[in-house]
Chain A
Amino acid sequence: MNLAMLKRFLPSGRHVVIGIPFFWLLLFFLLPFVIVLKISFAEAEVAIPPYTEIFVWADNQLQILLNLGNYVFLSEDELYLLSYLSSLKIALVSTLLCLLIGYPMAYAMARASKQAQTILLMLIMMPTWTAILIRVYAWMGILANNGLLNSALMGIGLIDEPLQILNTNLAVYIGIVYSYLPFMVLPLYANLVKHDPTLLEAAADLGAGRIASFWRITVPLSRSGIIAGCMLVFIPVVGEFVIPELLGGPETLMIGKVLWQEFFNNRDWPVAASLAVVMLAILLIPIILFNRNQAKELEDKP
């Protein structure tokens, strides 16, 4: 890449071009996390805003009041620990389900004709643009006790009384896999479509079977697509709120829902903030992995 020319012309403009998005993201994306960290050390108070100040300037000295009570509270109440574990479990299982369903889909797309590929791509893309809220809502009508699925099953005489699916974890799994499947398929497809078919031909010439060459060539080559897809599903699902709220029941423990309740129902901002801090700490490694993967993709210019 010859950028010497660009650089020579960009001494002042360069700073503006970098500065605007940099400043915006710094202010509205990074700084807020620092504030969340700060509030997580405050105490809840009946006031506006409903938390105590951490930095107090009194008698010419700066007092920093760090209250670790919220974190102690989180570790003492079993509900929070169980919610984190259950969120991670639900996210892990649904990521695997998405991968199992999404990989063959992406594989078939990448092998379709060029014409078919653009249409299939649009068909997969469209749901990602459509409100998750509405797509989850569509399932409420299908899975309800008197809903379409139960009526159909009873109609053909498979069951005698309606199955309780809505408001169980099963419904949550269905909703998550349904909503996040396109996010798994898209990066996998983008990766698989770049593969060189001659590699598979070479493997076949050397006597490898179709299954062997799939596992030893296609899968290893699609590693970065698998990572991107899994992270695009796993990380947001851990904090998912809408799906467990609408499809899940009282037994469904997910940390996004707990955080929402702490914030909106109990109005305990500091506890909500400390829940967010712990969630972020758990997700830090996956997020870094995802960012590394994306950065590498960016540098591997074709």
Chain B
Amino acid sequence: MKRWSFSNVMLWVGLAFIYLPMVILVIYSFNDSRLVTVWGGWSVRWYASLLDNTQLMGAVMRSLEIAFYTAIAAVALGTLAAFVLTRIPRFRGRTLFGGMVTAPLVMPEVITGLSLLLLFVAMAQLIGWPAERGMTTIWIAHTTFSSAYVAVVVMSRLRELDLSIEEAAMDLGAKPWKVFFLITMPMIAPSLVAGGMLAFALSLDDLVLASFVSGPGATTLPMEIFSAVRLGVKPDINAIASLILLVISLFTFLAWYFTRQAEERRRRSIQQMLDETRPQRDPRPQTA
């Protein structure tokens, strides 16, 4: 294969296109000058000034809290949905269910946001709940759309799994829930972690849904950033944006690293098992 083929050049150009703006943003967050476009030497003053900005810090804490609960709920819900779609091939409404799991991936956020808000208003009129919109309603909105992403991640893992292990456990008399928690769960654990981190990041990032379903006093970090940057680039926003970039890259890297480690351990142990059992067994072809 030629090293400088057209597609290889495109790959590097594309990666540069994706990463350069973020690198520039991080560099400029250390700019001492109050004018964001003039370089005035290195400084961390904008990071220090973040700590004094209580409004922004409050929004950060609120966003982190919502993201944390979203990650937990989305993993539970998304895993259930993925399990249903991969392990139960026929039930009434399966097509509808499959559609409802994948549609949030592409649904424009303004539509989802508006429709959820109208639902909450209608519910408040009808049953008196939610009496006030705020963190709970944002959490529901985030859980709904990020569980779709979790479902996709977990589904791809569940499909790869060798069903014979689960079947063997059930042949030996284990109850389905026990099989799920003792056999299936440990095998899909890396993708649960990855899915949870993805849900966390999605929730931390969302502006549109939160703007629609939030109420007075529940301003999340993206909403705070958005109202600030509407009018232009600001040095302290550069700093908080760089911090978010840092946190997310760290999370992504960890998720990637753990998935890879687990993958490698699994491959090695399967290989080991095969090596040990092969001589005694009849030479039946192994299914991967």
Expressed in whole angstroms, the Cα–Cα distance for A29 and B105 within the complex equals 12
B87 touches A6 (CB 8 A): yes
Residues of chain A whose beta carbon lies under 8 Å from any beta carbon of chain B: 1-3, 5-6, 9-10, 13-14, 17-18, 20-22, 24-26, 28-33, 35-36, 39, 49, 101-102, 104-105, 107-109, 111, 118, 120-127, 129-135, 137-142, 144, 146-148, 151, 178, 181-182, 185, 231-232, 235-236, 238-242, 245-246, 256, 259-260, 263-264, 269, 272-273, 276, 279-280, 283, 286-287, 290-291, 294-295, 298, 301
A299 CB to closest chain B CB (Å) equals 9
B106 touches A25 (CB 8 A): no
Main secondary structure of the interface of B (DSSP, over half): helix
B119 touches A178 (CB 8 A): no
B17 touches A178 (CB 8 A): yes
Q: Specify which chain A residues have a CB less than 8 angstroms from the CB of B98 in the assembled complex.
A: 291, 294-295, 298
Is B182 interfacial (CB-CB < 8 Å)? no
A287 touches B85 (CB 8 A): no
B25 touches A26 (CB 8 A): no
B100 touches A32 (CB 8 A): no
Among B40-48, B49-57, B167-175, B270-278, the one that faces the other chain is B167-175
B201 touches A129 (CB 8 A): yes
Expressed in whole angstroms, the Cα–Cα distance for A283 and B24 within the complex equals 36
A35 touches B118 (CB 8 A): yes
The size of the chain B interface, using a CB distance under 8 A, is: 99
Of the candidates B25, B85, B159, B198, the one whose C-beta lies within 8 Å of that of A138 is B25
Residues of chain B whose beta carbon lies under 8 Å from any beta carbon of chain A: 1, 5-8, 10-11, 14-15, 17-19, 21-22, 24-25, 28, 36-37, 77, 80-81, 83-89, 91, 93, 95, 97-112, 114-116, 118-119, 121-122, 125, 140-141, 144, 147, 155, 159, 163, 166-167, 170-171, 175-177, 197-198, 201-202, 204-205, 207-208, 211-212, 222, 225-226, 229-230, 232-233, 237-238, 241, 244-245, 248-249, 251-253, 256, 260
Of the candidates B5, B80, B111, B177, the one whose C-beta lies within 8 Å of that of A108 is B5
